[in-house]
């Protein structure tokens, strides 16, 4: 038995509303850490900000249950661990640095097309006892272009031919390694690695917040994962959640 299969208990479904909702119900009913829900299809896959996540057969849809008590901003660091783990797996598959992490938690190609999105859900209290990490990877297909959203692509269109099962295995192995590193070392090691694999450092960005839109130059992320940028007035500003767009949109 490899070290992966000791930690993970994978529940495989043919169809579900949302793997995140399914995993949340399991967690609320005592499912242990390491439980993973994978489905071939999602009927109502959820994206961030209440969007729908297009979920036909052929792509990877998974949600993991992790259990520990921590504040929400610490949980947010997990999105960097997840996106970095997937980015590394995809780059190892291609042998090139084609895939990059887009703040805060997307994986995109170097020509700015999204292949994966992550949705982290906590119990919603200041101290969480479990967290659901949902990840969708456009493996065989991808949604059509939508106005105002980053273009999507698929691994197939990027020349990667891999079955979802194999992708899941490679991802879980890498994620577990990095998750354990993060638990011991904290965010600093992940932060550096993430920056080395980040899209758009030094580039012009637009940050959409619920009530305003900010412009600036992407400079760094801080020790909590917040984005640091030089705003249009030349001041350094810090934002911990929002949607970032580069001038390709
Ligand atoms: C985003 O980029 O907006 C996040 C997308 C997250 C999609 C995944 S697919 C598996 C899991 N179940 C869901 O309902 N959503 C996440």
Q: Does 125 score more than 80 pLDDT?
A: no
- The string of pLDDT tens digits covering residues 92-115 is 999 888 999 999 989 999 999 999
pLDDT for res 1: 39
Tokens standing for residue 134:
């949902």
pTM for the full predicted model? 0.93
Task: Determine how β-strand 60-66 pairs with β-strand 131-137.
Answer: antiparallel
What is the mean predicted confidence (pLDDT) over 20-32? Answer: 92
- The string of pLDDT tens digits covering residues 200-228 is 999 999 999 989 999 999 999 999 899 99
Of all protein residues, the one whose alpha carbon is nearest to atom 7 of ligand 1 is 136
Give the mutation target among 26, 61, 101, 116 for probing the ligand 1 site: most ligand atoms within 8 A of CB.
Answer: 61
What is the mean predicted confidence (pLDDT) over 28-53? Answer: 94
């Amino acid at each position: 038995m490899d070290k992966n299969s000791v930690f993970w208990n994978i529940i495989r479904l043919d169809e579900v509303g949302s793997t995140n909702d399914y995993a949340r119900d399991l967690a609320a009913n005592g499912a242990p850490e390491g439980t993973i829900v994978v489905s071939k299809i999602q009927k109502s896959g959820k994206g961030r900000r209440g969007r729908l996540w297009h979920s036909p057969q052929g792509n990877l849809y998974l949600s993991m249950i992790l259990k520990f008590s921590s504040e929400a901003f610490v949980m947010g660091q997990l999105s960097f661990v997840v996106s970095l783990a997937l980015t590394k797996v995809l780059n190892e598959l291609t042998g090139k640095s084609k895939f990059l992490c887009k703040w805060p938690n997307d994986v995109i190609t170097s020509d700015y097309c999204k292949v994966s999105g992550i949705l982290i859900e906590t119990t919603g209290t200041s101290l969480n006892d479990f967290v659901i990490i949902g990840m969708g990877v456009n493996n065989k297909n991808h949604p059509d272009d939508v106005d105002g959203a980053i273009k999507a692509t698929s691994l197939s269109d990027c020349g990667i031919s891999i079955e979802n099962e194999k992708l899941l295995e490679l991802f879980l192995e890498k994620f577990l390694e990095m998750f354990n590193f993060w638990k011991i070392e904290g965010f600093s090691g992940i932060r550096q690695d993430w920056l080395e694999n980040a899209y758009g450092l030094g580039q012009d960005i637009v940050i959409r917040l619920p009530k305003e839109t900010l412009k600036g130059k992407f400079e760094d992320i801080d020790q909590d994962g917040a984005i640091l940028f030089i705003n249009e007035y030349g001041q350094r500003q810090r934002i911990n959640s929002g949607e970032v767009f580069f001038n390709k949109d």
